[in-house]
Structure 1
């Protein structure tokens, strides 16, 4: 024991080696725990590019942009270092290893999320592009993070889908229920309209029958007016003849009265005149009797005509009232419609209004005819009275004439009495002549009025024909309307039944052709389209780029547990110096064998896939050469301390090369030293050789590796030569440092 402590006091390098060996487990465990203390939290430093191309969408006058909503959520999410960039920068970044992945939200993202309510529901999706060769752990973590994001968004969207679905189903049910109630109300209204239409049809039938009777009555009245007109014309002709005879008689009597002084002288002439007068008196009496008969006939016909006019007036009044009631019923029927009334009903109302106007015009004409009839009736009455007086006076005249004839002798004897009688006769004839003028005027007015009456009755007959034809059209239209309302009522009953059934069975009968699509989209409204760059098949493939340089480093360390290191000395020739390199060359040879055996066993024994086997073997040879050179140089310069330094370098590289977790998950110390250690570039290049296949992105790593190989080989070659003034220089400085410590 005393010997050991004495050796430790004398050999400081041995003491350092012993202390280093003692703390190796502490360094190993401490570095690993420090580097990988919380890699999941450290993933917040892993950069992932996010590209939002969502153009948004509009639904129910409301704008939606779910892509922007996702961006807002990611800004508050710190599981990853989300970088919000454009598409070009994202593509370049994942290509040159600036980003571990890119998440792209497509332009139709919002429209697809909203498409579930349309005819072509479509599942929306993210586009996730991951470079597995950058870090297998990072790709798994990013994939889990994006899937978790998709799950949350899927849950929110699904909730909105089902909220809208149930709200819409409730609205549809309410609408169908309202539609069913409206259909039943429509059915009741159509039933009432049908009953009203039937009543209208029955009223029109009765009106048509009454109108037919009116038409026939007007026809008969028109025929009677023609007969009246003919008889009045005959009476007017007789009155003209009578008036001519009376004028002659009056003129003769006047002459007699004027020449009464010569009467006595012309008794013979008087007798002759009296005979002539008696003859003319008979004619006059006969004409007066004919006039009286004609007036009686005219009076009878006119009474019938007056009754027909009254009947016509009453019928027209009833027709006008009936049409008004019908028109009112149809207008009320039209107002019952919530929308526009049927065209046939509107046409019927218009036609009834036109017919009502025609009936009112006809009624006005009949009223005018009634006034004219009253005038004619008064004229006939006056004419009849005058004619009766004329007949009476004519009878008196005839009686007087007979007496004159009988008493002609007396006349001759009593000229004075005759003169007086002639004077009275002259006066009577003047009265008769005046009455005949009135009679003639009345007959003329009666003739004119009867012609007007005939014309008006003819117009009334034509209007009655048109009215009858129009009522026939209305009857046909009313029947068509009744039939249509009956069909509409049947249809409304079917509609009410269907709406009621639909309201009760809405869940089974709504959009059956799209229900599978909609439920599929609603169940999974969002998917993640993954695109892997450099697919890593499994964990073994993922860790191979990490374990290959680790194995070669450990292999290089183990070589120098077997080979003995030569001493430094000056050589007199280059040949002797080259011969001194046999230990280094032997170490390189063993390293080459290790570099060949390791990938061979991995590819053929373990089935490790590789994009290019030649590059794999070549790069393993390059790594083995570099690692052997580094170990040789450390031991050559530092002896056993160099072995300890090799172990420390191994642990530093294992914790900072991104072989397991991305270096961004480690402390800043490991991130800073990572770029100075060869295993960092070895892991990066081997990932592309084994899984990626894109060596263009590792040109820098290749260049650095080659430069390191050349540097450490050159240093190893010259480490065996003892240069003047530098022999054991490093060793002496280290001993001085330890002495001071």
Structure 2
């Protein structure tokens, strides 16, 4: 660091030795800030001087007469109101003069009120008139911003026209209403009383209907419990039927066994008759028991089903009665929602009635089945008795026809058993059908209950609405707005109504982070521009290369930092002078110290970028600095919000230092919020890091290229330049070693390469120049045939120019590299070794 401060001290001593240089230094500190000061003052409050923007108004309106409004000349009323308006410089003239003034630029715009304006506007009340039009002529050639201001003036006229029309119509209608005030008041009172009474009656009817619906819903909710009991009875019936079937099967088997026994043993012994009698008696007892069980189960199920049918029939009849009552209500015809719900319930009731008739028919069939089963039991008993009688007689006359009679009796008993089994099978099927019907009944009950609940909700909503309407009607007489429109005599105050309609709303505006003037709002942009120009002037006026005079073993980094610190003193003074001058002009600030500090930091950041580009790339870098300020003016949201800019600028917006500096300055002007100032300062300082990377890392790599440019600029004699004092080597180590190894062969090889390139060099330059001119023309023609591509065309042209410049730089660099290799070939071995030694010493430092 000692060499860095030594360079800084030496450069200031040089400056102090030349008094005329002081004037230049002071000018560099004060002249760039003047750019900001003059612009800030010039834009301090331009919108308070809009009275100088002349707008001519031509009134050709001839007025009109209307039965409702009377005589009206809205054009004259508009002129009278504009004469009291000082937003613009209103000028009133005839049409010929007005058009002449706007064409010549004396007036920025002219507004013409046509002859039939009042007539067209008034006729819109009856719907027979044409929509009135104001003719607006604007001269956009005179100024870019003035048309935007005159557009505001045209909007003012349009607003006043609408307000005047609404106010006039409101006043006329109020007078007409006052003519019929007594009739209106009496009729309104009667209607109000009748309406409130009707609404109360309707609410009472709705409450009653909701009570009945609640009862029906409860009944519907109890239906599943009733059907559950019926299902249990049917289940018991089915189980008894199964048991009876099994018993009948066993009986049939016993009868068959008895017949076989009688046939086998009756011929030889009476013992067989005794066995047959015993078996027959046993069969008769089992059949009788089974028949009694079946009959008892069927009777119980039949009674339960009959009770369920009676209960459901009663519920269905009650539902139909309630629905008939609801459908006769006046509300049913006025409420589509209620009417639809009643229709749905009636449909559900009809379906339920049909289902109950089916269940009643099923119950009747069940009763008939019970009778059939009982008859079959009697038949079984008779058959069994006949068999026993036949057996008794067989004891005495077994051979006189008893056996055939016994067989016939057993056959009759088997037939009765089969018939009874068929009846029991039919009863099982009927029980299954009854279960299906009960399921349908449960579903119908659930659907009915759901529909009734929907109806109840609709009635509740309707009741709430009726209550709200009744409250509104009752409160109408006490309305504060209505009272404010009535005069002391009870009539409408027409003037007050007209004034209210002229401006029915009031805009309550609260300004967050207020700024005292337009100049304060523009100060961040103009300050940044001044500081960037000031930093650029420093690298243009002062030398950017630090020489090694009086400095021992100066390195490239030391030279760079020494000269940067020298220029930083002036940059900091520029930032300080600019921001302090802004404050003296009256620029608002909530923290003057932060405002000045932001300006100083911005100036140093700008210098770090500009100095790095100018030293690393010389004149090309300075050209980039000029391009950067051109891009940052529209692309850093200093004038318009970035959201209004084209996509090209919105994409580059985060990469501009102006962006963060402007935001930081705005924080110090309008007010701080949530650490935004510090965040923007951190982002701004990152550009300093980028600058030092360019200056300390990339710049040494450009040493030979920069020396080539400096030499060619000096040879041209037309462009101001300076020698590059960047330490480095003219020769590559690989080339030096090759020359030491085979000096004559290296020299002959380089001469051949130089000869070939020199022959090709003029052709490459001419080709680049021709292509550099032709391609932009082709691009211009191509983009002219397409729309909305102007920015893309400009970007393509810039990229192409940069490519051509890059190509020309490449061939110049190749030419300079061959020149240095030729010079190396012309050195003797001792000179080559000395060059290598110098290179090693520099790298050792």
Normalization by structure 1: what TM-score? 0.43
Larger RCO, structure (CA 8 Å, separation 6 or more):
1
